A and B are shown apart, each in its own frame.
Chain A
Amino acid sequence: MKVAVVGAGPAGVRAVERLVAAGLSPVWIDEAPDGGGRIYQRPPPGVNRDARTLYGFEARRATALHTALDALKPRSDWRPETLVWHIRPEARQLHTLHRGRQAGVDYDAAILCTGAMDRVIPVPGWTRPGVTTLGAAQIALKTQGCGIGGRVVFLGTGPLLWLVAYQYAKAGAEVAAVLDTTPFATKARATPGLLRGGATFVKGLYYIAWLRRRGIRIAEGIAPLAIEGDAGGVTGVAWRDASGREHRVACDAAGMGWGLKPEAQLADLARVPFRHDPLQANWVPERDAAGRTPVRGIYLAGDGAGIGGAEVAEIAGARAALALLEDAGHRVDPIETVPLDRKLAAQARFRAALERAFPFPSHLARGIADDTILCRCEGLRTGELRAAARAEAATGPAPEMNRAKAFTRVGMGRCQGRVCGVAAAEVLAAELGCDVTAIGRLRGQPPVKPIPIPAAGDAP
């Protein structure tokens, strides 16, 4: 039986571990040179920083995962630095690209552990050099040991906002301000549910307290006004506080993000149906609690199947592998699956509280100014998308996202809407006067990420 696992983050590692334990040797594909996923991404060779410095409180988990990863490489068909750019469930084939070379990988069953990325809400000036997502700011620190700037503002909401700010300050960067768009009261209301998170919740409180203790400027319930700058890049961030007063702080870089969304393009190409999860405010691929999808042979685990975080991803990866084995006729003892299912259910309750503590601020996305760039790949301003939703457009109004893409090019560029899609949907829905679920989602098309045209004679 040919099994493929896409992704070598927490979910992928634990999935492969179970498959190998059952005597299988899956094809294991990851974009990064040495696995670990985004959260436990490893520095390149030559960068020698210890796990404690790189991963903080998560050092033990990171080390355990890396140890498992390294042990599993020789027991699988390990293919690092490889992009899966397409999947054809009809032919049960993955299409990969490794250093410019294309290959087809046949599978009978595949577990997609494709991770997540930041949700972005465009702010005036967000396309300036020196502005990154929170995730990118963190990766710069983890893999290169460098920051996105010397004096950084972090802006957005969610646990990652506080974690990245803490990591930067701890690494010696100057954190000019942490600007959380969620009011303190919203987070406080979610506290009872967050207590379920145990250590995770306590760590979150620790980061916030640590930042406060060092006198780092913190503002909650703010509305971002602009990321200011000049030809040299970012010079400051301006915002309005809850009482309406405007503030500005000087900085040379800004990291921003409003929670995460699944990187579910492969599940989409595999024709897995999607549903809108109102709590996450994300479109998520359909799967059962064990990770089975309605598409035969396709299993999902980790943040790519709906945001749950790294701990959940490890459990879900193992669970999806067991589901695959069960479906393939292997004997799987309930003694293995029952505790995993129980942990997943418990974690889901904590996750729900976390989403309530840091809800996606759709009002900010809906209120983006007309002249703010919405789709940076296509240089499209927010007002242009709004115009396409109005009756006086020569093409008539765009009633849903893919039509809006067709009319305006929103989400049509290099990133295929991965960056602008969430905010664009809110803008279009607001202009049409409907719920964001009523306008659908941007349809996936291969390639998942850009692939280069091979030189003559170099074609596969």
Chain B
Amino acid sequence: MTIACDVLIQGGGGAGCSAALHLAQRGLRVVLLERGLVGGQASGVNYGGVRQQGRHPAELPIARRSRELWGRLKDLVGTDAEFSITGHLKLARNEAEEADLIAYLDVAKQHDLPLRMVGRNAIHREYPWLGPQVVAGSFAPEDGAANPRLLAPALANAARAAGADIREHHEVVAHAHDGARFHLRTAAGEAFTAPALLNMAGFWGGRVAEAFGEPVPIEALSPNMLVTEPVPYFIEPNLGVVGGNLYLRQIPRGNVIMGGGRGESDPSVPWSRPLPEISFRTMGLAVEVIPSLAGVQVIRSWTGIDGRMPDVIPVIGPSRTTPGLFHAFGFSGHGFQLGPAIGAIMAELVVDGRTDIPLEAFRVDRFKAPAA
């Protein structure tokens, strides 16, 4: 028996679940197919940064819109997913990095993103626990962090309540399009059909695109994450550094969460695990920024699998080969904050055929060699 609906979504990360919610709210019959449990990979195991500062200018309109959704997440899905507005402080460790921060102030201004420079003296006065290596920072007061383990399941649950059919443990193994409708088949042999398909399958979104003649140069990315035992709360802002080789935050219950570099993975299983040498490198960078972390115990490390594009921004928008197919994948390690808005944007693309958010930079065919 084939199950027919208005929109099929492949991939139950934060973005896919948000798309299911927004489409269901607009009255469409939605079926979301997720290979494992929702939020099982990049959406569920990431650092939890709800950050706008430092993003690629093309991402900022999405990030601004998503930030607005984060602010009313509790009304939207019944939990705030522990979203707390701590501000995001991006640190410079030398003058070149400081120049980077200053240059970004103009980008932020163009997108109405509140951002202020914290100078050499002020930064050590305001954050006396920072190491001497830090020379400056820029502070985005609207940014913060949330619990990534809660977002996708909460969005999925709200989508279900709105009428969406969220199917976990449904691995899609075959894709087809007959000119009018998509036909998907799962590993268990179930068949699904709809006139619209949203490809929101993270790293595996590359395969879906390829199935419709749109191969993209995507690679697996496994962010290497660590968490410490709880220690007295003293790091209020979510911290990043220019260059991105360290990101670090503390939650009020005391654990310090940090990441940087990549672990190892095998997307065919899928399986992923942090790498010892990368974990120690992250610890080393963390102690340089916050010397008092020396001796604090790391209790767990983990990773998952995201898709990374060569230009480190995702693929978002309509397919160039197949009408009714829309992509949103390859978030390159920073899709968590964007997830809620991506769902809203995808719903607009499907229902209204347009969105106010400029998506040109995210075209699926941007990696194609120009025709000779």
Question: Which residues of A come within 8 Å of B, CB atoms?
Answer: 86, 88, 90, 95, 102, 104, 269, 393-396, 399, 403, 406-407, 412-414, 416, 445-447, 450-456, 458-460
Contacts and interface: CB of A to CB of B under 8 A. Distances in A.
Interface in B140-154: 149-150, 153-154
Contacts of A393: 157
A459 B44 contact: no
27 contacts: A95-B276, A102-B276, A102-B280, A104-B276, A395-B79, A395-B157, A399-B37, A403-B37, A403-B153, A406-B44, A406-B150, A406-B153, A413-B230, A413-B299, A446-B279, A446-B300, A446-B301, A450-B229, A451-B298, A452-B294, A453-B286, A454-B287, A454-B294, A455-B291, A456-B131, A458-B294, A459-B283
Given A104-B276, A459-B280, A459-B283, A447 B298 contact: yes
A456 B77 CA distance: 43
Nearest to A395: B153
Given A450-B229, A453-B296, A407 B301 contact: no
Contacts of B274: 445-446
Contacts of B273: 88, 269, 446
Given A396-B153, A396-B156, A407-B150, A445 B301 contact: yes
Interface in B259-314: 264, 273-274, 276, 279-281, 283-284, 286-288, 291, 293-302
A454 B160 contact: no
Given A394-B157, A446-B276, A453-B287, A416 B79 contact: no
B25 interface: no
Nearest to B78: A394
Contacts of A407: 149-150, 153
A412 B300 contact: yes
Query: Size class of B's contact patch?
Result: 35 or more
Contacts of A458: 294
Interface in B214-249: 228-230
A451 B279 CA distance: 11
A453 B299 contact: no
B127 to A, nearest CB: 17
Contacts of B280: 102, 454, 459-460
A406 B43 CA distance: 12
A450 B367 CA distance: 44
Contacts of B77: 394
Contacts of B293: 453
B295 A453 contact: yes
Given A406-B44, A453-B286, A456-B288, 12 more contacts: A394-B154, A396-B160, A414-B297, A414-B299, A445-B300, A450-B297, A452-B294, A453-B295, A453-B298, A454-B283, A455-B287, A459-B283
A104 B276 CA distance: 9
B59 to A, nearest CB: 27
Contacts of A447: 298-301
A455 B286 CA distance: 10
B17 to A, nearest CB: 11
Given A456-B291, A460-B280, A450 B298 contact: yes
Contact of A456 (B154, B157, B229, B287): B287
A453 B157 CA distance: 38
A339 to B, nearest CB: 40
Interface in B66-115: 77-79
A416 B299 contact: yes
Contacts of A104: 276
A406 B149 contact: yes
Contacts of A416: 299-300
Contacts of A394: 77-79, 150, 154, 157
Contacts of B160: 396
B149 A455 contact: no
A105 to B, nearest CB: 12
A136 B154 CA distance: 41
Contacts of A456: 131, 284, 287-288, 291, 294
A102 B273 CA distance: 18
A395 B150 contact: yes
- Please provide the 3 A-B residue pairs with the shortest distance between their CB atoms, ordered closest to farther: A450-B297, A394-B79, A406-B149
A96 B156 CA distance: 41
A399 B153 CA distance: 12
Nearest to B297: A450
Nearest to B151: A395
Given A394-B154, A456-B284, A456-B294, A450 B299 contact: yes
Contacts of A452: 294-298
A84 B300 CA distance: 14
A451 B283 CA distance: 11
Nearest to B152: A395
A252 to B, nearest CB: 29
Interface string B29-56: 0000000010000001000000000000
Contacts of A95: 276
Nearest to B149: A406
A451 B150 contact: no
Nearest to A443: B302
Given A453-B294, A460-B280, A396 B157 contact: yes
B139 to A, nearest CB: 25
A317 to B, nearest CB: 27
B255 to A, nearest CB: 9
Contacts of B154: 394-396
A283 B270 CA distance: 22
Q: Which of A90, A395, A413, A460 gathers most chain B CB within 10 Å?
A: A395
A295 to B, nearest CB: 13
B44 A445 contact: no
A445 B301 CA distance: 6
Contacts of A445: 274, 300-302
Nearest to A400: B37
A443 to B, nearest CB: 9
Contacts of B287: 453-456, 459
A385 B312 CA distance: 39
A460 B287 CA distance: 13
A399 B150 CA distance: 14
B229 A414 contact: yes
A342 B335 CA distance: 58
Given A406-B149, A407-B153, A445-B302, A453 B288 contact: no
